[in-house]
Amino acid sequence: MPITPAVQSLADRLAARTARHDMRSRWFGAGRTVIAVAQLGFLLLTPMKALLVPVVGMGDYPHCNSVRAASALCLGSSGAAHEAQRWLLVVIVAVAASGYRPRWTVIPHAWATYSIAVSIAVPDGGESVAMIMCFLMIPIGLADDRTWHWQQPAREPAPSWRTITFVAFLAVRVQIAYLYLDSAISKFGVADWANGTAEYYFLRDNMFGVAKPWDGLFLALSKNALVVVALTWGALVIEIAIGICVLASDRWRKAGLAMDIVLHGSIILTMGLWSFAMVMIGSAVVCATPESRATPLPRRGAGNCATSHERPASFAQA
């Protein structure tokens, strides 16, 4: 069957994008660090007895049946063992956050994230997003041969790694777009979101409501019907916009990142949920990574590149 000109043109454009694709930038490094810092704060500031608190009808945690047995928190059963496991996870996540040797740390980081997501008693959703992101970033990390993910790479990647990371990057963007679009669209089926009053009740929730010092301001503003509708429907509009932007060009993905920071920064200021918000912001930073590098690098085997990575690239160059 002959290939039509339209199909051939699409294949040529895809081949051209793949040929210049390079994820080894400070954007990717910054996003990965933000996700890891969110997990690090979660592990350092929350005692194990709170993470593994028994749940009515679910028994004691961690559950170590089936695939959950691969969790680091299933390596022992006593309280002392769990404390040692927590510090093991802290070390792994801290090294990942530092940016040292992405190729070596990306799989341990994914394991640590998996251990948190499947073992704690009351996750807030951020742990699952972080786990998915870390697993999808494994191919990108394995292709990253830098000593630190803050550095400019020394040479061009192999063509096979370009293709692998291109597919992985697309998978990351599709996953994040799905999360935001599904979150926004599903809310239209909830009466309080559909009629624009959801934020009124969220701000007054006993557990996740607005906290000091912003409680007086937001509770007063939320007595105005127009403000409540703007906050409620505005959040839905921003979620939809972010979901669309992360699938678009470099410029639009950066616009999506800006909206993501506004959305989750507002959630931090009013409701807290620091770790969840930071995971989502870090994921948006990864999605905003430029697909190609502005400054050409020496090809593999093209001579001595010892000095080509001495100066870290700026965000604009990355």
Instruction: For residues 271 and 283, give the distance between their C-alpha atoms in angstroms, rounded to a whole number.
Output: 20
DSSP, res 312: P
The mean-pLDDT minimum among 49-53, 76-80, 96-100, 286-290 falls in 76-80
**What pLDDT does 309 receive?**
42
> Mean pLDDT across the stretch 43-65?
82
- Residues 267-310 pLDDT 10s: 888 887 889 999 999 999 999 999 876 555 666 555 444 444 44
Q: Which helix (H) or strand (E) holds 37?
A: helix 26-45
- Residues 112-169 pLDDT 10s: 999 999 988 877 778 999 999 999 999 999 999 999 999 988 888 888 999 999 999 9
- Residues 172-214 pLDDT 10s: 999 999 999 999 999 999 999 999 999 898 888 877 788 778 7
Instruction: For residues 110 and 116, give the distance between their C-alpha atoms in angstroms, rounded to a whole number.
Output: 10
- Within 13 A of 233's CA, how many CA atoms are on the CB side? 9
Extract long-range pairs of 131-137: CB within 8 Å, 24+ residues apart.
Answer: 132/175, 133/35, 133/172, 133/175, 133/279, 133/282, 133/283, 133/286, 134/35, 134/106, 134/109, 134/110, 135/110, 136/168, 136/171, 136/172, 136/175, 137/32, 137/106, 137/110, 137/168, 137/172, 137/286
Q: Which helix (H) or strand (E) holds 233?
A: helix 225-245
